[in-house]
Amino acid sequence: MDLRLGGKRAVVTGGSRGIGYAVAAVLAAEGADVAIVARDASALDEAAARLREGARGRVETVVADTSDDGSVRAMAATVTERFGGVDVLVNAAARPAGSGPLPTLSEITDDAVRVELETKLLGYLRCARALAPLMTQQGWGRIVNVSGLNARKSSSLVGSVRNVAVASMTAALAEELGPQGVNVTVVHPGLTWTERMPGLIADRARAQGVSEDQARAALDATTTIGRMTTAEEVADVVAFLCSPRGVAVNGDAVAAGGGSPGVTYY
């Protein structure tokens, strides 16, 4: 299937690693010009060098901190100057979910919640606010917010709050921007195999006194496909939503975590 992304201009925050990097790789391979955004210049340069090997579009890097509005606006200006505009925004710059024991109510601090909302919710909002006008002016665009399946769980208070907030923001933006040709969606990955997963499995194995194989098997069993999804598999879902073919999905949350056992969402 041709996703019709050739010639589109995309911004991917958190694009130097993990799901953000995988999304940038798919978009670039489909022929889009892609600007990857992160705070670490050296990590961006290394990621861009790898991305260009399989790219049919341009790959640019922009250093920015999405927790700072001035930095985000400077990023938007830089991308606009280089690409002449923006068609697609993928928000993936967020702190990864922790692997340790979940804090109890008495252990959760205001700052623990505040930093998550500042980085993820407000970071995504800043990027949308800076780039959506470019899309509405041309009458077409896509914004995809990468959130997480903690939005559908009650076990992680901080993780649930930040991800539900992103989903709520997505729906509100979709209602405002959809009539102007800009679709806004949220993708909820679950446990995803990225470069950080081997370390998380090793930590879990030590904490539980089991082998790493046993620790991984337990994580694989949390999905209905019998294994964790990969960053590349999540990126394929995101790329479809970024494309003109994804027009029928707007404001909705799309789960991309390999299926959650024992529950029905409707």
Using H for helix, E for strand and C for coil, what is the string for the chain? CCCCCCCCEEEEECCCCHHHHHHHHHHHHCCCEEEEEECCHHHHHHHHHHHHHCCCCCEEEEECCCCCHHHHHHHHHHHHHHHCCCCEEEECCCCCCCCCCCCCHHHCCHHHHHHHHHHHHHHHHHHHHHHHHHHHHHCCEEEEEECCHHHHCCCCHHHHHHHHHHHHHHHHHHHHHHHHCEEEEEEEECCEECCCHHHHHHHHHHHHCCCHHHHHHHHHCCCCCCCCEEHHHHHHHHHHHHCHHHCCCCCCEEEECCCCCCCCCC
Q: What is the pLDDT of residue 112?
A: 86
Q: What is the pLDDT of residue 145?
A: 98
Q: What is the pLDDT of residue 103?
A: 85
Domain boundaries for CATH 3.40.50.720 within the chain? 9-190+230-255
Average pLDDT, the chain: 95
The pLDDT of 10-24, averaged and rounded, is 98
Q: What is the pLDDT of residue 133?
A: 98
For the full predicted model, state whether its pTM sits above 0.75: yes
CATH of the domain spanning 9-190+230-255: 3.40.50.720
Q: Is the pLDDT of residue 226 over 70?
A: yes
Q: Is the pLDDT of residue 2 over 60?
A: yes
